[in-house]
Each structure stands twice: as structure tokens, then as C-alpha cells.
Amino acid sequence: MVKHLNTTNINFEQDFNDLLLQNRCVQNDVSGVVKDILQNVKNHGDQALFDYTKKFDKFLIDNYTIRVRKQEIEDALSNCNEDTLKALKLSAKRITDFHIRHIPENDQITDDIGVGLGIRWNAVEAAGIYVPGGKAAYPSSVLMNAIPAKVAGVERIVMVVPSPNGYLNPLVLVAAHISGISEIYKIGGAQAIAALAYGTETVKSVDVIAGPGNAYVAAAKKEVFGTVGIDMIAGPSEILVLADNKNDPSWVAIDLLSQAEHDEMSQSILITDSEAYADKVVDEIEKHLKTMPRADIARVSWQNQGCIIIVSDLNDAPVLINQIAPEHLELAIEYPKRVLTKIRNAGSIFIGRYTPEAIGDYIAGPNHVLPTSGNARFSSGLSALNFMKRTTLIQCDAKSLAKIGPSAMILAGEEGLDAHKASIAIRLEKKIT
């Protein structure tokens, strides 16, 4: 049953708190199995990958067939529908154009006492992109994960993708080609994460791993963090629509279902100031569910995870939105920018009635890999920065060291770190006292 909350109800605060504390990421604990898989790949390399692929994907691979061949990519390209290819290329261009604008610049100054200070940005040398396989294939996710790495300047980008029963969706290969990826391996699950993190005879290790996956992939990314960097641990998808009663309820209904169709644990939330309008949206949801191919999934998501919140005034909504910190936020209201200035926590914001969340999933340009489960309170969506690192620069000459060195020596002495103190003193030709 879809949850109904109303800010005027005496129990609203408790009900809303329960919504915030709801854990949609509850899974069977797979950490023990994942640790065993990681260790096995670490110890036995390629052979472990071959064995796990046979076990989980029902597919035999060896040293030759583990990697996608150039001919397979060319076949996928030649068989790709022309309109689909154009759409993928347009998406890639827009993603590239957006992300390249946010590459940080190096900075260097000499301060007023002569100390040179700066920051230098570099891309990591190698990045691994995990692409889910199985029930569905998402070429858009290939673009969204790979292009920021390319824009950042990563020289080697590796893609791993499971091939259940030997089948690999050709659009995934097309998207990889458009993104500039040619090193692709037919492996998935925790074993693929292990290969990217530790390396095997065939798969060389990387520095950063990005991309979504199932519970085993998520657990594996958690385990290898520290050996490599990771993008984030993403949970089920979410959308929050703030809508007034001037919207076509059918539009809002299908926007809510656009996330519900992802997964039974996805969450769709409607905030509005009209109970009557909310009822109209619910009616339209039922109409859409009758024709949706993924209606079984969407219905379970909507009924079990969905929520409608009625507020007395739409101006009260930002307080609630900031606490929810949704992955996707639609502002389908008359004057969205008035509310926009009050929103602090959201993965991505879609402004106005003609900006459905789905446009951001494919073609707008900003990344669709976004923080879930309230993590937008402290984290951001995927960008080129996930594949970059900054190095600070410091340069003293004899005169500038003489000006700040004595204070550093005092602090080192207070901390009892005599070698620190001496390394400065020796340059200042002072004795340690």
C-alpha cells in the first residue's frame, strides 16, 4: 500500500522519520562469499575468472575468449540501427561537452613572503568500468561512466561486463566504442571487481573502479576500496516529484513510474499541496501500469516503496526535500527557481514541467550516476573529478624558509617530533634547543 503522509497529521513527524530511516538496501549478507571470491582471484588469477564465469554465467572462457575481439565490436557497429547510433553519438557529445567544462585548472602562486604554493591536477593512469549484464543492458551507463574518465585524461579505460550464456548485448559494445574503449572483458560479478583491483595474468589492475552492479558487486567494491578508488556504492533508484495541481497528472504519474520500473526496491515520492490532485496522479498511475511492459516490477515498487506527502504550502517542501536528499528531484511547479534556491541536498534537479527525469538519464549531459539513499547530503554525482587527483605544490627558498621555519620548529617541538624540527633547523643552520 502506498504510504500517505500529511504534514497536518499529529503523527507526521514520526511517520516522516520512519520514511527517512527506511532501508531499501537490505540484502542477504554476501560479504563472506565475496571475500572468498576476491581472495581466490587474488591467488589464482585467470583460472579463478574462468571457473566463476562457468559457474555463474554458464559460459566457458579462456585466455583468448575472455577479451572482446575487435571483430565483435565491428559486428555490433555494423548491425546497429542508424537512428540508435545517432542517438548514442548525440548523447556522448552532450555528456562530453558538459563534463569537459568542469575540469579543474592547475593553480600556482607565490605568497607575500616568497613561498611558492599550488595545486596540480592529474588523471589516474587506469580506470575500470563495470557494466551490468543479465536482465537488461544499459548502453547509457557505459557512456555516463566512461566519458568522464576519458574527459579527465585517463589513458587506459577497461570495461568488464558479464555475458550470461555467452550473450553480450551489442549496444553495450557500440557505446564502448563511441566512448573510446577497446579493452573489454567478458567477466562480471565480484570476480570482475577482483580482477580490476588486483590484476590477473590477462587483466591488468586499475586505479579507480566505477559503475553499478548487484549486491555482490557492491560488496566487492566496498572490500577493495583502499586498494583502488571507487565511485560510490549506489542503492535502488529514487525520484521525488514536487508538483502543483497545474500539472497534467498523467505526466507526473509516468515520471514516478520511470524510476519504479527499474527495480522493486526503487522509490517514487510525490509531494504536493493538493490531496485531490494526488488522487488524480494515483489514478493515472493505475492507467499507465495497465500498458507498461515492466508493470510487474513498477507496481511492486510503487505499492511497497512509493509515498505521497501532502503539504499545506509548497514553500514548506524544501525542508522535507533536504532531509530526504533524493537522487532525482523534479520541480514541476509554477515558479521552480524560487524553490531551487532553498534546495541543498539532491543528486540532480530537473527544473520545470517540461524537464522529465528521463531526459537526464540519456541526453541532457550531466551524469546519471548519482548518490542514493540520502547520500546526496554529503556526496555528488559521478564526474571527471572521480578519475582525477590533486597534488599540492610547495616551494621555499632560503629567505622564505627563514621566515616561516622557526614557527614550524616550535610546533614540531611541541609535538615531540625532533627529526621534523631538525630537518628545518639544519637548513637554517640553527641548533636544536
Tens-digit pLDDT profile for residues 130-146: 998 755 678 999 999 99
Kind and range of the H or E element at 330? strand 328-332
pLDDT at 375: 95
Q: Is residue 198 assigned to a domain?
A: yes
pLDDT at 432: 57
Domain with 15 in it = 3-25+235-364
Active site residue 368: no
CA distance 431 to 131: 60
Residue among 223, 238, 284, 327 flagged as catalytic = 327
Enumerate residue ranges in the chain where pLDDT < 70.
26-28, 134-136, 430-433
Rg, the chain, Cα only = 26
pLDDT at 33: 95
pLDDT at 81: 96
pLDDT at 429: 85
Helix (H, G, I), strand (E, B) or coil at 114: coil
Residue type (1 letter), 149 = A
Whichever domain contains 195, its CATH number is 3.40.50.1980
pLDDT at 22: 86
Q: Does residue 341 sit in the same domain as residue 410?
A: no
pLDDT at 174: 97
Q: Does residue 207 sit in the same domain as residue 317?
A: no
pLDDT at 280: 98
Q: Does residue 314 sit in the same domain as residue 420?
A: no
CB-CB contact of 311 with 277 (8 Å): no
Q: Does residue 315 sit in the same domain as residue 355?
A: yes
Looking at 173, 199, 230, which one is the last position of a domain? 230
CB-CB contact of 208 with 229 (8 Å): yes
pLDDT at 136: 64
pLDDT at 114: 97
Active site residue 223: no
Q: Does residue 152 sit in the same domain as residue 301?
A: no
Residue among 262, 288, 328, 368 flagged as catalytic = 328
CA distance 109 to 146: 34
pLDDT tens for each residue of 189-228: 999 999 999 999 999 999 999 999 888 999 999 999 999 9
pLDDT at 251: 98
CA distance 50 to 44: 10
Q: Does residue 408 sit in the same domain as residue 346?
A: no
